[in-house]
Amino acid sequence: MGIPSLLFLAGCASDGDDPSPAPGEIVPGKNRFTLTIEGRERVYWVHVPASYTGATEVPVVVMLHGTNQTGEQFYNISGWREVGEAEGILTVFPTALVNCIVDEGQTEELTKWNSYPGTGGWEHCPGATPANDELFLRGVLADLDARFAIDSARVYVVGFSNGGEMAARCAVALSDLFAASIACGGGGALPGSGAGTPIRLLPVLLQFGNADAKLMRAVGATSPLPMDFTELFSTYPGLYGRVPKPYIDTFAIDEASVTVSGDSTSVIVADYVGLSGDPANVFTLVEVKGLEHEYPNTINHPLNGAALHWAWLRRFSLL
């Protein structure tokens, strides 16, 4: 994959009742790996499909969990390991560190990705030293490159909630490594300003549910949001500046070049084209009817988010 080497230590273990593999050994199914980044142990999980032999390079999807969740939890519930098994791709589930944060006036200690400050309405506690999660994720990709035969042109990142905020940050700061990025969940995945200039204008997708209480609370809605983008943004004009506009500005998207499709009884999609002329410079906005603040996995919502997201991601590569 050619990722620059980083200073970290790595180890491998499996989960469950099966005997742990020898250091560096990879087993089909669930694998646990550790890195030491900035003097702290970091953990990530990898699902290795039964079809993987190491003889052929395979795509990678990195899935980032939300606040107070873990990579192992999303390994189990997101639906991505099932997609990875069916499609023969590696699916990767890092875990954020426990951080002291202040959210809506409450001080808490819980897992949290160090996304853009203030994006989700929370802040780190005064005096806290947030982890460099960009460095951690670069370390994960470098470690994967050393262990597996991966297709460096087809490495993707998906995140839910605070993980979506981090996936959006990756779309700016790590777009030299990720071919495309998806952020899901209510709240602002990118700040209105201060995101910086992306390394490259990669494809980005932002998904939210019309019944997401976090997003509804942010705009003062007392009932599910309209399943029509024109009505939605005219009813809640602040929402346009909070959700699509930061993406439009950050990724040089043509605000007027948009095609809307879908069904207001299930999912509506707005596909925007970029100003650069690069066919991969695109932004997709998705609203899902009845989706609350969850990553849809066919159990909490009829939508299979992982399968649909893979169908979108696989269209793109770094080449």
Q: Could you tell me which of 227, 87, 236, 250 has the C-alpha nearest to residue 168?
A: 250
Of 61, 274, 270, give the one whose Cα is nearest residue 180.
Answer: 61
Q: What is the rounded average pLDDT for all residues in the chain? A: 91
What CATH number is given to the structural domain containing 185? 3.40.50.1820
pLDDT tier, 19 (very low <50, low <70, confident <90, very high otherwise): very low
The residue range of the domain holding 41 is: 10-313
- At residue 17, the pLDDT reads 40
Q: How far apart are the first and last CA of the chain?
A: 13
Give a yes or no: residue 171 inside a domain: yes
Could you tell me which residues come within 8 angstroms of residue 199 by beta carbon, excluding any fewer than 6 positions away?
Answer: 172, 173, 174, 175, 176
Q: Which residues, listed in sequence order, are joined to residue 32 by a DSSP beta bridge?
A: 13, 45
Distance CA 110, CA 67 (A): 7
The answer to whether residue 4 is domain-embedded is no
Domain total in the chain: 1
pLDDT, one tens digit per residue, over 279-289 is 999 999 999 99
Q: Is residue 1 part of a domain?
A: no
When computed from its CA atoms, the radius of gyration of the chain, rounded to whole angstroms, is 19
Residue 242: inside a domain, yes or no? yes
Query: Within a domain: residue 318?
Result: no
Give a yes or no: residue 3 inside a domain: no
* DSSP states of 243-277: THHHHHHHTTEEEEEEEEEEETTTEEEEEEEESS-
Q: Which residue has the tokens 């909490």?
A: 300
Q: What is the pLDDT of residues 142-172, one digit of tens each?
A: 999 999 999 999 999 999 999 999 999 999 9
Instruction: Identify the helix (H) or strand (E) that includes residue 12.
Output: strand 10-13
**Verdict on whether the full-model pTM lies above 0.85:** yes
Beta pairing, strands 204-209 & 122-124? unpaired
The string of pLDDT tens digits covering residues 94-142 is 999 999 989 878 999 999 999 887 777 788 899 888 899 999 999 999 9
Per cent of the chain over pLDDT 90 is: 79
2 in any annotated domain: no
Strand ranges inside 65-149, DSSP E = 90-94, 98-103, 106-111, 122-124
Residue 5 has pLDDT above 50, yes or no: no
Residue 55 lies in a domain: yes
